[in-house]
């Protein structure tokens, strides 16, 4: 969908904002850029809709160099949501939303039904909100209108630059949930910028961790938590551990507390007590068994069943990516 090939951005004053950035963003995924302030997230994002021109390298959308698109066509096909959503203060919610559909010469009725549908999707009753002025909305509601405006003309790509960071924690969490639900229905390609790892882990299909204009690691939330490749990634994850990062021993301890007795284990597949749960699940799959003998220093500590692991995870997973909250 969106491909960066060895992209550099050096600003006129010599600041190297982005350095040899290569990544392929897939159709329909939420791809999150995360990293410390000043690491080049916004610059990277703005190069996608040509608000900023790369110094070197190529960016392609659907295998076509973005410089070969008509700039208006390109921008109309890319929704953009900013941290401080700039709704036009003297225009109603409807007028704010219908700007791009109007530029695209949509029929009035098509625009109206699209606006109604989208307001419903983000939980704002259309009749109640459509004629309000921006000053009559809370911060969270304005941000929702910003999301609706970005989606109004049905773009394939949405860029969201720290869209929720100015909100209070409750509105923020709600909008994170909303955006995930919305994505289930609209399947857009979303490039999301945040400096908050919790947010990234909650909403992303893949995360790209940046530092000083370079990519440090790209992976699913599970991969990032489970296999952080550098100390910076570890620092960003903080103390959070994935439920998958718990060990076989953690499950066994819970199970032994139930005073299960061990039978003859000689025929059974075994696993070391300090292996990660994900390894246990892989072993259950590859061996086609539903229980494992847990070993420590060549001694059997006990047996865990597939259902014990599932129960253990179910009790702990509180977000879709298995991060213990």
| Alpha helices (H) in 124-196, listed in sequence order | 126-129, 139-151, 169-186
Closest approach of Mg ion to the CB of residue 40, in Å: 9
| Contact letters for ligand ADP, residues 202-241 (x by CB under 6 A) | ----------------------------------------
Report the distance separating Cα 22 and Cα 24, nearest Å.
7
Among 9, 12, 59, 66, smallest CA distance to 38 is for: 9
Examine residue 84 and tell whether it contacts ligand ADP (CB under 6 A).
no
Kindly state whether residue 15 participates in binding ligand ADP, applying the rule CB under 6 A. Answer: yes
Which among 7-15, 83-91, 173-181, 261-269 is the span making contact with ligand ADP, rule CB under 6 A? 7-15
State the nearest-atom distance from the C-beta of 41 to Mg ion, in Å: 5
Residue whose CB is less far from ligand ADP, 17 or 303: 17
Does residue 42 interact with Mg ion by CB under 5 A?
yes
> Does 255 interact with ligand ADP (rule: CB under 6 A)?
no
Question: Which one, of 171, 139, 175, 170, lies nearest residue 160 by Cα?
Answer: 175
Which residues, numbered 21-60, are part of the site for ligand ADP (CB under 6 A)? 35, 37-43
Q: Which does 7 bind (CB under 5 to 8 A by kind): Mg ion, ligand ADP, none?
A: none
Degrees to nearest 5, angle at CA 185 with 183 and 188: 50
Binding at 13: pick from ligand ADP, Mg ion, none (beta carbon under 5-8 Å per type): ligand ADP
Give per-residue burial for 302-317: e unless 16+ CB within 10 Å, then b: bbbbeebbeebbeebb
Query: In terms of CB distance, is 42 or 247 closer to Mg ion?
Result: 42
Phi, psi for 20 (deg, rounded to 5): 50, 55
The site for ligand ADP, by CB under 6 A, has a size of 12
* Region binding Mg ion by CB under 5 A among candidate stretches 25-33, 42-50, 125-133, 148-156: 42-50
Number of residues located near Mg ion, criterion CB under 5 A: 2
Residue 22 binds: one of ligand ADP, Mg ion, none (C-beta under 5 to 8 A by kind): none
Distance separating alpha carbons of residues 312 and 244, to the nearest angstrom? 10
Q: Following DSSP, what letter does each residue of 221-282 receive, concatenated?
A: HHHHHHS--SHHHHHHHTT--BGGGSBHHHHHHHHHTTTPPP---TTS-EEETTSBHHHHHH
Among 95, 150, 99, 159, smallest CA distance to 121 is for: 150
Residues near ligand ADP (CB under 6 A) are 11, 13, 15, 17, 35, 37-43
């Amino acid at each position: 969908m969106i491909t960066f090939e060895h992209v550099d951005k050096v600003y006129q004053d010599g600041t190297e904002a982005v350095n040899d950035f290569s990544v392929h963003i897939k159709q329909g995924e939420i791809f999150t850029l995360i990293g410390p302030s000043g690491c080049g997230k916004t610059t990277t994002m703005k190069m996608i809709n040509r608000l900023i021109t790369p110094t070197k390298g190529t960016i392609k959308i659907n295998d076509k160099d973005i410089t070969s698109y008509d700039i208006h066509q390109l921008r109309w096909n890319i929704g953009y949501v900013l941290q401080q959503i700039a709704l036009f203060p003297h225009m109603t919610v409807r007028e704010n939303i219908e700007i791009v559909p109007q530029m695209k010469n949509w029929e009035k009725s098509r625009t109206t039904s699209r606006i109604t549908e989208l307001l419903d999707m983000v939980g704002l009753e259309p009749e109640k909100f459509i004629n309000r002025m921006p000053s009559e909305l809370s911060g969270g509601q304005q941000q929702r209108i910003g999301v609706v405006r970005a989606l109004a003309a049905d773009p394939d790509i949405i860029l969201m630059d720290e869209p929720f960071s100015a909100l209070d924690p409750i509105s923020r969490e709600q909008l994170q949930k909303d955006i995930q639900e919305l994505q289930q229905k609209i399947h857009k390609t979303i490039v999301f910028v945040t400096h908050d790892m919790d947010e990234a882990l909650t909403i992303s299909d893949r995360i790209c961790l940046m530092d000083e204009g370079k990519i440090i690691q790209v992976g699913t939330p599970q991969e990032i938590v489970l296999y952080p490749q550098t100390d910076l990634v570890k620092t960003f994850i903080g103390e959070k551990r994935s439920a998958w990062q718990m060990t076989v021993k953690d499950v066994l301890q819970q199970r032994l507390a139930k005073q299960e007795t061990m039978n003859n284990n000689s025929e059974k597949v075994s696993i070391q007590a300090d292996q990660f749960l994900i390894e246990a699940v892989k072993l259950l799959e590859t061996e086609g068994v539903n229980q494992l003998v847990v070993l420590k220093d060549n001694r059997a500590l006990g047996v865990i069943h597939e259902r014990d692991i599932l129960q253990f995870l179910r009790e702990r997973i509180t977000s879709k990516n298995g991060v213990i909250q």
